Amino acid sequence: MARKNKNLRRTEKTSRKAVLTRLLPPLVFLLALCLLVVCFYDSGYTSLPPTAQRYDTAKADIQALLQDSRRVNQREPWEKLAAEFQDIYKADPAWPNRPAALFRAAECLEDLARRSFARSDAQKAVTVYTAVADRHAASRLADDALFRAARLSAAWLKDDAGALTLLARLKSQYPRGDMLPQALALEKALRASAEGRTAPEARQAAAANAAPDVDAAAAPAESRSTPPAAQSATPSAPATPPDPAPQAFAQQDSEQAATAALAQTTAKLKPWPQKGLQGRYAAAKAAMTRLKADKTRSCWRQPWEDLRDDFLRVYLSRKTWAVAPGALFRAAQSQEALAGCSHLSAEYRLARDLYLALAKEFPRSALADDALLSAAALAAGPLDDTAAALALLDRLDTSYARGDMRPAAASLRARLTTPAADVAQTPQNNGPTPAATAVASASRPRHVNDMARQLGLTVRRVFIDAGHGGRDPGTSHNGVLERVITLDVAKTLGRLLEANGLEVVYSRTEDKGLSLRQRTDMANAARADLFISIHVNANTDARVCGFETYYLDLAADPEAARVAALENAQSDHSLGDMQKVLADVMLNARVQESRKLARQVQQMALFRLQKRTFRVRDNGVKSAPFHVLLGAQMPAVLVELGYCTHADEARNLKNPKYRLALAEGLAEGVLAYRDQLLRRRTAENFLTPQGASAM
């Protein structure tokens, strides 16, 4: 029995050895495979390209993003680029180009803020710009970063005090820096604005958006005046290959933006057939000539937009055709005239980009220097970008030294670099060429009219009142709730005005109730320059429809009195209050300005709606004693967007595209009124006869 058990154990031991012998090779193979995978995983995912290579790749990604018309307006790509530059900055403390990486991160955040209109994005950009100056005081980018931070603080955060502090630091630490002239101009603009004045030369410099030579500026330079402590604390570092010169850097950016703008504008246009193309081009030119001579239609947006698209179709149909540059130039001219009708900065920028696209695509064309001069005139005039205008003039002088536009370019340069008083005394001897006329128009001094000067009126801050709210729903018919519609249009209008450089104050940004007196008191406390109250109308007769704008005065007709009674239902003004305030208003010149504002808003809103193919009845400008306008210490209007009791208008009011078109039209009306005060009429545009009305 013992022998049997011993044999059994020996057999089991032999069996286990045999099993292990068979399993050992596969186990060894699996173990080796796992080790190999781990090694490759670590090497593939933990090792990154050299810092300089990552930086160059990220820069290329910026250019690619700027050319992508779809992704360029999205938040995620800009945030990823900013994070990538910040990671590059942190990755290698010994890399000499670290300030440039941090500066690029701030630029990405600034670009995001310009597209999102979010104060939080602008604040992040200011923080990163300030970090560049704090951590790298000896870098050539330090003063650029301080200036960028100051400009963002003033324009986007409305923090003039913070901006002035940053500018004072720039002047103190970098008295010989290249950003000092722009810093002084911005400081002058901010102080003038605080005093209610306008400094044109300072405003131009404040709006300048010249791109610094980021990489070349990253390393310290002897020519830069830096704090002694910073100089002694900064070790000398090996030089890195710099980017192109600042002018080339800015030119590349502008050309990329121009190409992207042209591609986006022509994306939805279909080229015309080759057959009959010459006749179509001739017809478009003839239509342009007729439109210039038409004093009424030349101030409308739609005809110019149609002409622009026609010329772009000619350009798209045969880019190798000899007249392709001419077609593109006329498209840019049409866009510039369109911008003169809308007074929107975005429209002027598109015109500038079309001119620049011509100069890039057809550099040997006889129209290339004309296009550069026209782009410079737009930069110096409506866009208030003196630095960009001078850069374009430098490019014109360099590339077209023998061009026929040099005299006009020299005249524009003189006006941009000569104090305003000297310009006013200098006789104008330019010929009546289109470019010369554009120069004169762009550089003509702005003067506020007598009425506005007496009232101390400058349009910088707009108070937008979304009617009703909270427990007061307003009118409600056909699925339209007034308090919801008015809030949506008010917020969209505010974003559009902020995008065009105006400060906006809201009566409410959420569904909450306010008395009519509170709304007026808020506008006065904010020291707003304009007051716009937005409402939706209603009528017992479902056939009544239309868009109308009111200003404060006695009711001119029974319908106006009826509308005023409806809107005054929630008023806490007594009859005695109303009589006293209205008597004061009747003697006040602001009623005249309110009437002018109402006319601009009514006209431009209807133009925009018609452009969007919405059919709306024009009920005109009316006067009525609205309580919400009583006591307003600024020009004030009340806009009735439409009648929710009318089936078609209720359907429109529920349409987001219709509400967007309404907001765009209201914004154009406000900007047109602002430009009317500054005597910047459409008639000053060289494409429009001098006798034409601005509106």
* Whether residue 346 sits in one domain with residue 456: no
Angle at 276 between CA 274 and CA 281, to 5 degrees: 95
Residue 333 lies in a domain: yes
pLDDT band per the 50, 70, 90 thresholds, residue 577? very low
* Whether residue 399 sits in one domain with residue 281: yes
Domain count, the chain: 3
What is d(CA 656, CA 646) in angstroms, rounded to the nearest whole number? Answer: 18
Is-contact 139 99, C-beta < 8 A? yes
Q: Where are the alpha helices (DSSP H) in 294-433?
A: 301-317, 324-342, 345-361, 368-380, 386-399, 406-417, 420-425
Domain span including residue 319: 254-405
What is d(CA 499, CA 318) in angstroms, rounded to the nearest whole number? Answer: 36
What is d(CA 288, CA 471) in angstroms, rounded to the nearest whole number? Answer: 54
Residue 411 lies in a domain: no
Residue 22 lies in a domain: no
Region 179-184: what's the mean pLDDT?
Answer: 86
Among 405, 437, 465, the domain-final residue is 405
What is d(CA 641, CA 658) in angstroms, rounded to the nearest whole number? Answer: 10
* Whether residue 464 sits in one domain with residue 373: no
pLDDT band per the 50, 70, 90 thresholds, residue 214? low
Residues 6+ positions from 692 with CB-CB distance below 8 Å:
295, 298, 299, 682, 683
Residue 18 lies in a domain: no
Which tens digits make up the pLDDT trace of 273-328?
Answer: 888 888 888 888 888 888 887 766 776 777 888 889 888 888 888 777 778 888 88
Tokens 């409308």 locate to 300
Region 245-274: what's the mean pLDDT?
Answer: 66
pLDDT band per the 50, 70, 90 thresholds, residue 31? confident
What is d(CA 57, CA 59) in angstroms, rounded to the nearest whole number? Answer: 5
Higher pLDDT, 275 or 502: 502
What does the pLDDT read at residue 260? Answer: 74
Residue 662 lies in a domain: yes
* Whether residue 619 sits in one domain with residue 522: yes
Residue 157 lies in a domain: yes
pLDDT band per the 50, 70, 90 thresholds, residue 215? low
Indicate the SS3 state at residue 643: strand
What is d(CA 479, CA 491) in angstroms, rounded to the nearest whole number? Answer: 21
Strands 636-643 and 547-552: antiparallel
Among 374, 405, 436, the domain-final residue is 405
Higher pLDDT, 650 or 18: 650
Residues 6+ positions from 269 with CB-CB distance below 8 Å:
309, 312, 313, 316
What is d(CA 417, CA 440) in angstroms, rounded to the nearest whole number? Answer: 14
Considering 316-320, 414-418, 651-655, the range whose residues carry the highest mean pLDDT is 651-655
What does the pLDDT read at residue 437? Answer: 40
* Whether residue 371 sits in one domain with residue 454: no
Considering 204-218, 253-267, 383-397, 486-500, the range whose residues carry the highest mean pLDDT is 486-500
What is d(CA 695, CA 693) in angstroms, rounded to the nearest whole number? Answer: 5
What does the pLDDT read at residue 553? Answer: 65
- Reply yes or no on whether the pLDDT at 485 is more than 90: yes
* Whether residue 594 sits in one domain with residue 454: yes
What CATH number does residue 169 fall under?
1.25.40.10
Which tens digits make up the pLDDT trace of 363-381?
Answer: 888 888 888 999 998 888 8
What is d(CA 389, CA 60) in angstroms, rounded to the nearest whole number? Answer: 26
What does the pLDDT read at residue 194? Answer: 57
Angle at 612 between CA 607 and CA 617, to 5 degrees: 55
- Reply yes or no on whether the pLDDT at 615 is more than 60: yes
Residue 102 lies in a domain: yes
Instruction: State the helix-helix crossing angle for 51-67 and 75-91, rounded to 10 degrees.
Output: 170
| Residue 362 Cα distances to 325, 334, 372, 379, 505, angstroms | 7, 19, 12, 21, 46
> Could you give the dihedral angle defined by the CA atoms of residues 454, 190, 153 and 519, in that order, rounded to the nearest 10 degrees?
-20
Q: In terms of Cα–Cα distance, which of 393, 298, 295 is closest to 337?
A: 298
Q: Percent of the chain having pLDDT more than 70?
A: 69
- Reply yes or no on whether the pLDDT at 625 is more than 80: no
Beta strands, E only, 65-180: none
Q: Percent of the chain having pLDDT more than 90?
A: 22
Angle at 692 between CA 589 and CA 668, to 5 degrees: 60
Region 578-589: what's the mean pLDDT?
Answer: 46
For 596, the token pair is 């002018």
Is-contact 320 271, C-beta < 8 A? no
Kindly tell me the sign of the dihedral angle through the C-alpha atoms of 576, 578, 583, 587: positive
What is d(CA 274, CA 256) in angstroms, rounded to the nearest whole number? Answer: 29
Q: What is the CA radius of gyration of the chain?
A: 32
Which tens digits make up the pLDDT trace of 430-443?
Answer: 333 344 344 444 43
Considering 35-39, 222-226, 483-487, the range whose residues carry the highest mean pLDDT is 483-487
What is d(CA 678, CA 358) in angstroms, rounded to the nearest whole number? Answer: 31
| Residue 578 Cα distances to 343, 462, 478, 564, 628, angstroms | 36, 24, 34, 13, 11
Is-contact 548 640, C-beta < 8 A? yes
Residue 484 lies in a domain: yes
Q: Where are the alpha helices (DSSP H) in 117-158?
A: 119-135, 142-155
Region 604-630: what's the mean pLDDT?
Answer: 84
Q: In terms of Cα–Cα distance, which of 534, 232, 246, 525 is closest to 387?
A: 246
For 320, the token pair is 């190798």
Q: DSSP assignment of 201-228, as one string?
A: HHHHHHH--PPP-TTTTSS--TTS---H
* Whether residue 611 sits in one domain with residue 551: yes
Among 343, 376, 405, the domain-final residue is 405
* Whether residue 456 sits in one domain with residue 390: no
The one-letter amino acid code at 564 reads A
Indicate the SS3 state at residue 642: strand
pLDDT band per the 50, 70, 90 thresholds, residue 235? very low
* Whether residue 277 sits in one domain with residue 398: yes
Tokens 């210039």 locate to 292
Sort residue 289 into left (φ over 0), alpha (ψ -120 to 50) or beta. Answer: alpha
Region 537-565: what's the mean pLDDT?
Answer: 73
* Whether residue 567 sits in one domain with residue 651: yes
* Whether residue 258 sits in one domain with residue 377: yes
Q: Lowest mean pLDDT: which of 279-288, 331-340, 444-453, 584-593? A: 444-453
CB atoms within 10 A of CB 525: 10
CA 140 to chain centre: 28
What CATH number does residue 507 fall under?
3.40.630.40
What does the pLDDT read at residue 148? Answer: 92
* Whether residue 319 sits in one domain with residue 181: no
The helix or strand, by DSSP H or E, that contains position 76, with its residue range, turns out to be: helix 75-91
Which tens digits make up the pLDDT trace of 119-170?
Answer: 788 899 999 999 999 999 998 899 999 999 998 888 777 788 888 999 999 9
What does the pLDDT read at residue 295? Answer: 64
Mean pLDDT of the chain: 75
Higher pLDDT, 571 or 36: 36
What does the pLDDT read at residue 557? Answer: 53
- Reply yes or no on whether the pLDDT at 108 is more than 70: yes
Which tens digits make up the pLDDT trace of 56-97?
Answer: 899 889 888 888 877 877 888 889 999 999 999 998 888 888
